Structure formats: C-alpha cells, structure tokens
Amino acid sequence: MYFRFKKDNSELNDDGFLLVDSLLSLMTLLVITNILLPAMLVLVQYDSSTQSQLKFNRELYISLSGYDNFEDFKEDNDNFLVGQGEICDKIKEDLCVRIK
C-alpha cells in the first residue's frame, strides 16, 4: 500500500533536521558546562563553609554549657577569642558568632 503512493525519484531531505539536531545537542552540552557545573561547584563550596560554621557553633555551645556564667568562660577559655560583641575561633578567625 505504501509503495503505491511513493514517487519514483524521491530523495530524503534530512539535511536541515540533522543540522538542528546537532545544534540542539551542542546547546545542551553548553548549558550543562557553562551553567550547571559552576552552580554545583558554588553549592559544594557553600556546603563546606556551612559545615565548618556548624562545627564551630557546636563546639562553642558545648564549651559555653560547661560554665555557670559568661565571665568564667571569658577567663578560662583556650580555644576562642572573645572580642567586643563576638566570639571567634583562635585557629580560623573568620569563624565568629555575635553575642549580645
């Protein structure tokens, strides 16, 4: 049935489709490498900095809970720097918590 309607000298004209298909796959690859990959790197870096801040907050909370008042903590601590309005880590000074 199909062969009855087929023309004698018909050729498939797929050149445009193959061009669009390869351009579409190239654009998909560019989106993955230019947008998604840097976004993943930023998220991994943010996650590691958040983990270190969380670890610092836990250590500070455990240390503070061992003292009756804040003045005793100021005098006896060895791991933290108590400044004006903040408590920082002695090793990594960028890890700080504001205090009131």
**Segments making up each domain of the chain, as ranges:** 14-98
* Strand stretches in the chain, DSSP E: 80-82, 86-89, 96-98
Cross-strand partners of 86: 98
Rounded distance between C-alpha atoms, residue 31 and residue 45, angstroms: 21
pLDDT of 21: 83
Q: pLDDT per residue over 14-62, tens digit each?
A: 556 677 888 899 999 998 899 988 999 999 999 999 999 999 999 999 9
In whole numbers, what is the pLDDT of the chain averaged over residues? 84
Cross-strand partners of 89: 80
Residue 69 has pLDDT above 80, yes or no: yes
Q: What is the pTM of this model?
A: 0.62
